[in-house]
Chains A and B, each alone.
Chain A
Amino acid sequence: MSTDKTSTNAQKTDAQKTNVQKTKVEKTSAAKQDAPAVENPEAAAAAVTAVDPRLLVREQGLAGYVGEFKRKMRAGELGSIPVVVGLIIICVVFQSLNSAFLSAENLSNITITMVGTGMISVGIVFVLLLGEIDLSVGSVSGASSALAAVLAVNQGLPEWLAILAAIAFGAVIGALHGFFFAVLGAPAFAVTLAGLLFWLGFMLQTLGENGTINLDSDGLIGQLTTYNFSDIAAAYGLAAVVTAIFFLTGFLGNRRREAAGVPSRPMSDLILRTALLAVVSFAAAFMYNQYKGLPLATVIFLVFLVGTDFLLRRTAYGRKVFALGGSVEASRRAGINVTAIRISVFAISGGFAAMGGLFLASKIASANQSAGTGDLLMNAIAAAVIGGTSLFGGRGRTWNALLGVMVIVSIQYGLQLESIAEPVKYMITAGVLLTTVVIDSVTRKTQKTAGRA
């Protein structure tokens, strides 16, 4: 009987407790509901930032920027700074050796030549984001260009159809590699190594005994790397449009964030970034107009870079790719279809390899037996890594491919101007690659100690 009473008492106190708790909860929720209606975003933001006193809040103005920059450097968050510094060093060294290096003609040629390797490298960035590797891209690019040449020249198909067929072919090959990796569980390294050999053989078989199929240099494929928008308005117009879009999206995004009471970047930050972009893009436009005008290849490359960057950072698909690079098990438990994402990423890699192959074939106006061999694969992977994509997955942007391939092709052109032989080129490129990987590993260590990796 007595125990019964105590239990009743306990129940009562329980009841009171829950009652008190409930009113508390209701109060806070009522206060919360009022919050968005308050016409004082600054105070609201201040209230939210007061959540944790340990958080390092950036000071306002320029001092804040310098402080944050220093902190990031110390924490090893270098981003693309090593590559940009590297590019500047390359320009200074080669310009001092040969004044033709920074000429409009040379720079224009560099930006056209880099598109082929760059396209392949964009696909590699996707695969590296998963923490995997695709060794077959070189052979796939060669096989796709051979297929396009056979379809267009030998079979007489329209060139646009041959291009589409080649890209689809590359994507299907990639998906096939992805299938072996994602569904059957074979290591991507081994699957794509087999692919490297198989598609090389396939290309040689397709090209037949002759070994070379010459492309019509005035055809669509030929024009890919030879066409230039010679009207100076084209280059300047593109630069203006890009700058304007960048500013507008940034501005509207900031306005939305302010309206929603979420912290946003200060206006000065946006203006600084826009100014930087404007300087770079108008300088490039000016450079192109000194020579033949804006090259079509570069425009296509930029379109794909913007598109893939958007895909990776602004869509649910991209978020899933990054998630898989971070933790496969976490992604699986979050309901992400791991197999489908893996297959699709390898398909993207194959598709970009095919596109790169077409640009490379266009550059030499033929599909031949040496396509996709030699240092192409290594350069494509090196470009992604040099640009700052982590080999360990989950970190990187497709813009890295642009920066990395710029470094590699600039070195090649610079050495060519000095008429330095091929073997030395290989060794120097290898040195650059090793340096970047070392920088990557060292900064990762620093990041770990700074709690950022």
Chain B
Amino acid sequence: MSIKRNLKIMYMLMKMKLQRNMAYRLSFFGVCFADGSLFLMQILMFSAIYSQVGSIGGWNKHQMLFFIGTFSLLNALNMALYFFGVISIPHKIKSGELDLYVTKPVNTLFHLSFENIDIGSVPLVFASIGIVIYAAAGMDTRVTVLTVIGYIFLILIMLVLYYDMEVILRTFPFFVIQSASIERFEEGLLSLCMRIPGILFKGAFKVLFYLVLPYGIMATIPTQFFSGILSPAGFIYSVAVVVVFTVFTIAFWKFGLKNYKSTGS
């Protein structure tokens, strides 16, 4: 399927979602308020800790702020683009609604993922960029065009990794009936990894959050790159993780789809 066609479908899905959302005006920017308050509390938390100490794990206040801004940016882009589509997958598998998607001449996963684009999360994207720029201004790093391009590239691939993780966990309902615990498990891990940078993990936790469930690298690697402390090996490692997880996600999804038991259509 061509990129042009996919973008056209995304645009149509976004238009339809926007029309539906306008019916609930208060909820329109709901995600923005909810997640905005979450990251604001995180900033306050680290401001309080940095009022007592100079650095945490070798990171100063501005690097930590940059990390928070980066995770907030990833989270906002996730919310705006595919989160609400992906989280609906388990319900559609269980209820048999998936029948409607597999019969359409559009890639099933693509349709499911992007049918609930949330424009209300876009202000949070700009707020996060604001935090990132403010934090970058306080850092000692010499910012070049290459730094910015590299950072954007890492954000984009981490967005793919974020998507991979969400889809993998929501493919399990093809095989198990009850998946609520898996989602709570993801929530617990995310709330941990969005609050502390991966550099603080050691030993088994490092293996867990850098390799098995790589939530720990999502905002840490872009922050390290921007700060100029990411080694070339670290850069290559992060790209490799994203490639491996994306290949696995596609294969796992296809395997799950083969196991889908339709509800009678």
State yes or no: do A and B come from one complex.
no
Mark A residues whose CB is within 8 Å of B: none
B interface residue numbers (CB < 8 A to A):
none
